[in-house]
Structure 1
Amino acid sequence: MLAASSAPTPLYGLYQSAWHFSPLTLTVVFSAYALALLAALLSAGTLSDHVGRRPVLAGALLAEAAAMLVFATARDVPALIAARVLQGLATGVATSAAGAALLDVEDPRRPGRAAAVNGIAPVAGMAVGVLAATALARYAPAPTHTVYVLLFLLFAAQAAVLPRTPETARRHPGAWRSLRPAIALAPASRPVMALAAPGIVAAWALGGFYSSLGPSLARLIAPHAPQVTGGLVFFTLTAAAGLAGYTA
């Protein structure tokens, strides 16, 4: 999911060349994804606790596959925004359910591993996604289609295999009530969160800046460089973040 979220980054330059839209419009496209992701996390973050992990993940995978089809057939900016909104919703729902599932299967003899994976996987996934999409954009035919077709096939395969995996959560009533947007934080964690929140917000804001405007910045600094250079800029950022999280 997170690899797919960064896949459009090296393609933004191709979209801009074909459709002639401004960096401000590109920021709107990225913001659509970020806002949809936030809405999904706030509203559906605990849904898998009530209906199970597999149904939530299956729905998210199918929605993500649909988003890939919208990307692959996009002909203008509104279609690109629609694809990013759908992708943001699917990613937010999936990451919360997948993170909870990792905690469900954590080995009690090795505590903390699930939390470490939950912290490293997002940035590592974005690094892998942007690198793969950059390579495909550079060498594959029809890059604004090939990337998304391959991702569509991947998500469809995952959705097909998911029913064979064990369910790790028991169903509980209150699924509809859980969709009310809410933020819950244990009292003991609040002082630490208050200290860490500014740094977390700044780090993800920097990532969002390079994910959306990295290609435009790269072309401004090096106008004769290949259009996919912006993808490598974001890869450097996310790969370093994943390595830092792993070594820490």
Structure 2
Amino acid sequence: MKIGIIGSGNMGRALGVRLAAVGHDVMFGARRPEQSQAAVERVSGGAQAGSNDEAAAFGEVLVWTMREPDPAAVLANPALLDGKVVIEINNRDYANEARAGVWFEKAIAERLQDNAPAARVVKAFNTIAMESFDTTPEALRESSAQTFVAGGDGDAKAAVAKLAGDLGFQAVDVGSGPAAFRGVEALGDVIRIIMIDAGRGGRAHLSLNTLPEPNLQSVGAREASTYR
């Protein structure tokens, strides 16, 4: 398949290199020609370098790596997206939006903590459907069941983690503050969409895993980043 990479930074380079390695025809686009050319040099089987507009014209499928949602700010000819499959891969500004928790309104747990400031509120179990509490702890442990936990009091989270373990769930500590509360609550929204709209039912489950160490040395090192 012909793939156009719109923006050849860390993720654009990595995705394009790997898509080329598994047999796709890739053109890397960038605002700076040297950036797209540097990405091409990582591809042993050959790829093309060009501008973002050239990559958009080339690809049947486009990988949109720019946080900018207005095509007119990225492409001289935004109509190049018409009829194309466009894969948008971006996240919000981590430092100024995600970490500050501005990506959603206040979580229920946040509001509860605000209204009961002396309480030690912990968000947990909201990604677990009722059916799973009718399952033995042994069976849940065997399936690597998890619950995501957020809160500002370490001892309180440890107590919740102990209770989760008694039920058969591993507790995954997401952290504290607005982003943690809102993130865990958002995971509850995600799993319900999967359960209900996608038809997977109450046994659908979210879990955190650690992927294997990178072993291909093909996509290059991460460019300097402020993790924004």
User: Structure 2 length as normaliser, TM-score?
Assistant: 0.23
Greater radius of gyration (CA):
2
Higher-RCO chain (CA-CA 8 Å, sequence separation at least 6): 1
